[in-house]
């Protein structure tokens, strides 16, 4: 069975500080992809960053980086220099080859950036 776990229902961070959002996953398939999405209150899901199970290096996209620890099955999102516009819901998701490439979403973390 495939599973994504986000244990932080809500997080607060001071503006300009860095924050780490936790994500752990479980799959027996060696081929999988991990994604992070941001969902502001407007509702649209915005793709942030991707990490493949065979990627040797941690993914980075601007202020977003993914701390991928394969042995621990964790894929934490690090947001550097937080901005007020980063306040949103963040979802970790996994796509597994052997399950028809369905997306499995975590329960999400609500991030609030404090001025």
Partner 1 sequence: DTEVTQTPKHLVMGMTNKKSLKCEQHMGHRAMYWYKQKAKKPPELMFVYSYEKLSINESVPSRFSPECPNSSLLNLHLHALQPEDSALYLCASSPTTSGTHNEQFFGPGTRLTVL
Nearer to partner 1 by C-beta: 14 or 101? 101
Q: Are strands 19-21 and 10-14 parallel, antiparallel or unpaired?
A: unpaired
Among 112, 105, 64, 66, CA closest to 88 = 112
User: Nearest approach, Cβ of 32 to partner 1 (angstroms)?
Assistant: 6
Burial of 24 (0-12, 13-18, 19+ CB in 10 A): middle
Work out how close the CB of 23 gets to partner 1 at its nearest, in angstroms, rounded to a whole number. Answer: 12
**Selected range binding partner 1 among 11-19, 69-77, 78-86, 90-98, rule: CB under 8 A:** 90-98
- 90 contributes a contact to partner 1 by CB under 8 A: no
Q: How far is the CB of 97 from partner 1 (least distance, A)?
A: 6
Helix then strand then coil, in percent of the chain rounded to 5, is 5, 55, 40
Separation of alpha carbons 36 and 53, rounded Å: 14
Q: What are phi and psi of 97, to 5 degrees?
A: -60, -45
Identify which range of 11-19, 65-73, 78-86, 107-115 contacts partner 1 by CB under 8 A: 107-115
Interface residues with partner 1 (CB under 8 A) are 31-33, 35, 37, 42-47, 50, 52-53, 89, 91, 95-97, 100-103, 105-108, 110
């Amino acid at each position: 069975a495939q599973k994504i776990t986000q244990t932080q229902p809500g997080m607060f961070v001071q503006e300009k500080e860095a924050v780490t959002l936790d994500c752990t996953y479980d799959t027996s398939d060696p081929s999988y992809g991990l994604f992070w999405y941001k969902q502001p209150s407007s509702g649209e899901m915005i793709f942030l960053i991707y990490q493949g199970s065979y990627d040797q290096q941690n993914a980075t996209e601007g202020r977003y980086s993914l701390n991928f620890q394969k042995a621990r099955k964790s894929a934490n999102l690090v947001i550097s220099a937080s901005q007020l516009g980063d306040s949103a819901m963040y979802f970790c998701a996994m796509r597994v080859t052997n399950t028809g490439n369905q997306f499995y979403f975590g329960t999400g973390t609500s991030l609030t950036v404090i001025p």
